[in-house]
Amino acid sequence: MKDFWYYVPTRINFGPSCFQYLIETVRRWGSKPLLVYGGGSIKKNGAYDAVVERLKEAGIDYAELGGVEPNPRYESVLEGNEICRKEKCDILLPIGGASAIDCAKSIAATAGYEGEPWDIISKKVPVGKVLPIITVPTLAAAGSEMSTSSVISRMDINMKAGYSSPDMRPRASFLNPEFTYTMPRRQTAAGVADAISHVMESYFSNVPEAYLQTKFGEALFDTLFHYGQIAYEEPENYEARSNIMWACCWAINGLTVKGNPVGWSMHKLEHELSAYYDVTHGIGLAIIMPAWLTWMLTEENAYRYLGYLKASFGIDSSGMDKMEAARLAITKTKEYFKLLDLPLSLREIGVEEKLLPVMAHEAAVIGKDYFDKAFRVLDEKSALEIYRLAYE
Amino acid sequence: MKDFWYYVPTRINFGPSCFQYLIETVRRWGSKPLLVYGGGSIKKNGAYDAVVERLKEAGIDYAELGGVEPNPRYESVLEGNEICRKEKCDILLPIGGASAIDCAKSIAATAGYEGEPWDIISKKVPVGKVLPIITVPTLAAAGSEMSTSSVISRMDINMKAGYSSPDMRPRASFLNPEFTYTMPRRQTAAGVADAISHVMESYFSNVPEAYLQTKFGEALFDTLFHYGQIAYEEPENYEARSNIMWACCWAINGLTVKGNPVGWSMHKLEHELSAYYDVTHGIGLAIIMPAWLTWMLTEENAYRYLGYLKASFGIDSSGMDKMEAARLAITKTKEYFKLLDLPLSLREIGVEEKLLPVMAHEAAVIGKDYFDKAFRVLDEKSALEIYRLAYE
């Protein structure tokens, strides 16, 4: 196990009764929240009312930024900054998916910055003062409600920039699994794929002595694969929704990574996709995952695939040829995503073949640090090989 | 999954390099620490020097309370309070096992209280202001370095009082697994048994829909049983020591309990033992555990034993009679503790048979809340049955 520090001071309030703590939490961290959200879904699933009614009842003034896009845009961050200044908001309160939360995190991290906010988002300038963030997630996917990172897109320069800071970790999050009942089926599937990819990036590492982290990873695989299908088939199954929602947090909050470092290369490959095509993050990942697993496999690292096979699909590989078992794990992964009706190739979602080398080049440049420390070291050539595997 | 809140704001600094963060952490939370420790072991394993040298170098003044007993006594808490007042200490810095840490927590929780500190420890008066606590554990066992609880003994009235408060959770802990190399073998074994009992109390619950918590529990069982034996046989095996040390934190910090509530009845049975006999907590638990598992087993709850059997001993029970498999899990547990040379019966450690009804009565009175919410509801009669099973 490598040396590490672990610090996750987000207070999670979980379950339909969680909003009993909302007002004391808002007052603990600020006085006037800026609500940040996307389209109309939060007004249908009850999340908006759950927050606004309590704020009104408590006499707490607030401002609003609606219409934040999936793969949130830089423009929304700028707009949020402006509202924050004008309305003197001192706390961010995103309601919705990772898009709303990531946008709010970037508003919080740039609201007090005098220069061009993109400096911070693109890591040219380190994150300074961050306004406190309290989240109300209504999707189970990226786990942004307990994580330190934010991803913002600029379509004008085809850039999707991810960055993180301990201060961008939400102070508190309010997780009501019932709000996820109305997630579109496609989003339920994409969210599960996203969380699975988070576990996968750290599970496929070269630190076998980080045994506990590996076992925690297997607990998460087991839970996500098991309940992902149930939630897809029975959207109002509370057991499935609550387990997925809680698992999504642990898939990214550091539990499986700390002491077990590895470059998250799959995400770098996906970020290129979303930068060009505005693909839903989880869908991009579901397509790249089997290709990535295929390219990464060697005789030496096959043992990781066997643990994954057992935890995710309940298949004991004892007695099997290990490479055969590893390939079965990849086939099973594809079959699972097919079961959730996710697209299985880049071609299928309309990616142009001629763009693959461009994305491979950019991924290798922007993601060099991640590629160098990946499960198997990647470069532009191998990135292209993975994109080609994912294309067919 | 039941509604819950989860909040664990302890910053863990892990590995031999962790002390690089010590001074900034002390300064973040206070100005003059009170070091709290037991006998001479921390002066041999390097922990005392690691702290004191850095404090001196940084010019930070400190006071000391040494000689804290295993099963820390109330007298040590009183002594700590006095030093705190006289020396104007504003931060507690225990170095050692859970005894030192629990003692420091109780000093922190009572230093500012005008009345009799026992009022707070015995829960007559709620915990008020708590001084910040930073810990340097040198044993892997109780996980007090990331937990909210403290257990203090009064031998004059045969009371062992456990209580907890979110404010008693350490602000930061510095975990260097190398410090545990010199743990006596008996303590290594007892520490592993203690952590296993923490996982067991929450694993054997009646909330099967808290699936993720169950899987996390299995990850911890797997890690603790696997590395417990290795650490016992090879005290300087870093892989084993680091995994155990990290697992001990997660066994008690809320991960397996939140959303999965159950009364921790095994601990109530053990606390009676230590109150009368000053038994090492983990040893008492190792003796009571198989008896507790035996008494708890029914046709309906046997499935829990099968998950435990698989995670802890790698035995797949498919094809076996479920009650037979459950009983095998109990036998295996006993065999494991025997392998670690732990005593296997109350008789063996000198408990007088005539005291069993007295302990059963007291456990049932003091532990009523826990007994009522246990995996199977317990009362005085059943407590006595468990003690008798553990006696033989």
Dihedral (Cα; A345, A348, A349, A355), 10-degree rounding: 70
Chain A nearest CA to B361, separation (Å):
37
Yes or no: say if A382 and A295 are a contact pair by the CB < 8 Å rule.
yes
Out of B10, B211, B226, the one facing A223 most closely (by C-beta) is: B211
Strand partners, B8: A8
The mean-pLDDT minimum among A30-39, A281-290, B153-162 falls in B153-162
Query: What element of type H or E holds B65?
Result: strand B63-65
State yes or no: pLDDT of B155 exceeds 90: no
Q: Which residue of A has its CA nearest to B314?
A: A316
- pLDDT band with cut points at 50, 70 and 90 for residue A40: confident
Query: Residue B164: left if φ>0, alpha if ψ -120 to 50, beta else—which one?
Result: beta
Structure confidence at residue A192 (pLDDT):
98
pLDDT, one tens digit per residue, over B86-118 is: 999 999 999 999 999 999 999 999 999 999 999
Alpha carbons B110 and B103: distance in angstroms, whole number = 11
State yes or no: pLDDT of A275 exceeds 90: no
Out of B3, B6, B13, the one facing A16 most closely (by C-beta) is: B3
Task: Collect all residues of chain B within an 8 Å Cβ-Cβ radius of residue A226.
Answer: 211
Task: Collect all residues of chain A within an 8 Å Cβ-Cβ radius of residue B259.
Answer: 14-15, 242, 246
Chain A nearest CA to B271, separation (Å):
29
CB contact under 8 A, A223 and B212: yes
Here the tokens at position B244 are 């155990």
Q: Are strands B4-14 and A4-14 parallel, antiparallel or unpaired?
A: antiparallel
State yes or no: pLDDT of B132 exceeds 90: yes
pLDDT, one tens digit per residue, over B39-78 is: 889 999 999 999 999 999 999 999 999 999 888 999 999 9
Q: Which of residues 3-32 of A touch B (CB under 8 A)?
A: 3-18, 21
Work out the average pLDDT over A152-160: 86
Task: Collect all residues of chain A within an 8 Å Cβ-Cβ radius of residue B4.
Answer: 14-15
> What is the Rg, in whole angstroms, of the alpha carbon atoms belonging to chain B?
20
Q: Which domains does chain B have, with CATH numbers?
A: 11-178 (3.40.50.1970), 184-391 (1.20.1090.10)
Is the ipTM above a cut-off of 0.90? yes
Structure confidence at residue A274 (pLDDT):
83
SS3 of chain B:
CCCEEEEEEEEEEECHHHHHHHHHHHHHHCCCEEEECCCCHHHHCCHHHHHHHHHHHCCCCCEEECCCCCCCEHHHHHHHHHHHHHHCCCEEEEEECHHHHHHHHHHHHHCCCCCCCHHHHCCCCCCCCCCCEEEEECCCCCCHHHCCEEEEEEHHHCEEEEEECHHHCCCEEEECHHHHHHCCHHHHHHHHHHHHHHHHHHHCCCCCCCHHHHHHHHHHHHHHHHHHHHHHHCCCCHHHHHHHHHHHHHCCCCCCCCCCCCCCHHHHHHHHHHHHHCCCHHHHHHHHHHHHHHHHCCCCCHHHHHHHHHHHHCCCCCCCCHHHHHHHHHHHHHHHHHHCCCCCCCCCCCCCHHHHHHHHHHHHHHCHHHHHCCCCCCCHHHHHHHHHHHHC
Q: How far apart are the first and last CA of chain A?
A: 38
Question: What is the pTM for the complete model shown?
Answer: 0.96
Chain B nearest CA to A275, separation (Å):
34
Work out the average pLDDT over B162-171: 94
Structure confidence at residue A161 (pLDDT):
86
Q: Which of residues 126-145 of B touch A (CB under 8 A)?
A: none
Alpha carbons A58 and A21: distance in angstroms, whole number = 12
Q: Is A2 on the interface with B (CB under 8 A)?
A: yes
State yes or no: pLDDT of A157 exceeds 90: no
Q: Which residue of A has its CA nearest to B5?
A: A13
Work out the average pLDDT over A96-107: 95
Out of A209, A226, A239, the one facing B209 most closely (by C-beta) is: A239
Please list, in sequence order, all residues whose beta carbon lies within 8 angstroms of the beta carbon of residue A167, skipping any fewer than 6 positions away.
A109, A127, A129, A130, A148
Q: Is B37 on the interface with A (CB under 8 A)?
A: no
Chain B nearest CA to A76, separation (Å):
31
The mean-pLDDT minimum among A140-154, B16-30, B306-320 falls in A140-154
Q: How many CA atoms lie within 13 A of A331 on its CB side?
A: 7
Furthest C-alpha separation in chain A: 67
